[in-house]
Chain A
Amino acid sequence: MKILKLFLVIFIIFSFNHLKANNEDMKSKITKNLRCLICQGQSVYDSDSEFANSLKILVDKKLNQGLSENQIYEYFKQKYGEWILYDPELNKNTYILWLLPILIFLIGGAIILKTFIIKKK
């Protein structure tokens, strides 16, 4: 019975550790996708500015409160606008950004296809 209890305690400790590790992974994933507004060009994860450090603490708190990744992004978007996210959403300001690579890919593909067909003929 004692051994069983011991195992149970160890199991619980390990499962909490796992939870903590998961939170850490999630925290670094989120902070890598947040832009530091003071040191623009750096992510919050990379930056050591006062602003970035506060953001890291807040992300940690929000994760502990049980907020999901998207809820946290939404929270920061509300406060600072979409610019704070590195991964921009598809809207009227960003559609060129999203569609241009596909367009270039298709045009390039068409050119290659054309030249091959011409060569074969």
Chain B
Amino acid sequence: MRNKLLPISISSIFIIIFVIFYKGLQDTNIYTPEEKINNEIPTFSAKLFYSNKEVNSSEIFELNNFYLLNIWSSWCVPCRQEHPLLMSLIKNNRIKVIGLNYKDTKKNAKIFLNELGNPFEKIIFDKEGINAIEWGAYGVPESFLIYDGKIIKKYIGPLNRKLLKEINSIIK
């Protein structure tokens, strides 16, 4: 019995380690934060892009209304791709698009908007990237669909036609 204890324990340790690593292989190692749906939107105060006025989140997002918060920047190439989609989204007057200008300069952002159009009802100017963190975002572009003060959908990365259709069907 004593002679058997050593090989049994060594092999069981190896089996345990093997199982752990094998399970680890199947998991993706790129982490994206859990999508916390139906969470209330964060309360924050932020500066508006054009007026430089300090506003609270409750002044931007009214209840009983659909909003799409879009985090964008002039230096972000995928934002350039999704911009025409935002322009077409605002044709639907059931939704308002709010922009969050992430770590950008006003000069470049204005050039970007003059060139591609401005779909945003209001733009939050987030020079330090702090407001984006309040939203639990970690890059650009990211979009949040909001209704009644709650996040009902979160889109990481640029929007595409399929997602736009989805948004349009949600807000119908």
Contact = CB atoms under 8 A, between A and B. Distances in A.
Given A50-B103, A81-B34, A114 B5 contact: yes
Contacts of B16: 100
A54 B103 contact: yes
A39 to B, nearest CB: 11
A34 B64 CA distance: 37
Given A37-B33, A111-B9, A54 B130 contact: yes
Interface stretch (B55-63, B109-117, B132-140, B164-172): B132-140
B20 A54 contact: no
A54 B9 contact: no
B133 to A, nearest CB: 6
A54 B129 contact: yes
A107 B9 CA distance: 7
Contacts of A54: 103, 128-130, 132-133
B9 A58 contact: no
Contacts of B128: 54, 57
Interface residues of B, number: 23
A95 interface: no
Contacts of A96: 20
Given A37-B138, A38-B138, A50-B103, A55 B31 contact: no
The 6 closest A-B pairs by CB, nearest first: A54-B129, A79-B136, A80-B33, A37-B138, A51-B138, A57-B128
Interface of B: 2, 5-6, 9, 13, 16, 20, 29-31, 33-34, 103, 128-130, 132-136, 138-139
Given A50-B129, A100-B16, 12 more contacts: A37-B31, A38-B138, A40-B29, A40-B31, A54-B128, A54-B132, A54-B133, A79-B135, A80-B136, A107-B9, A111-B5, A114-B5
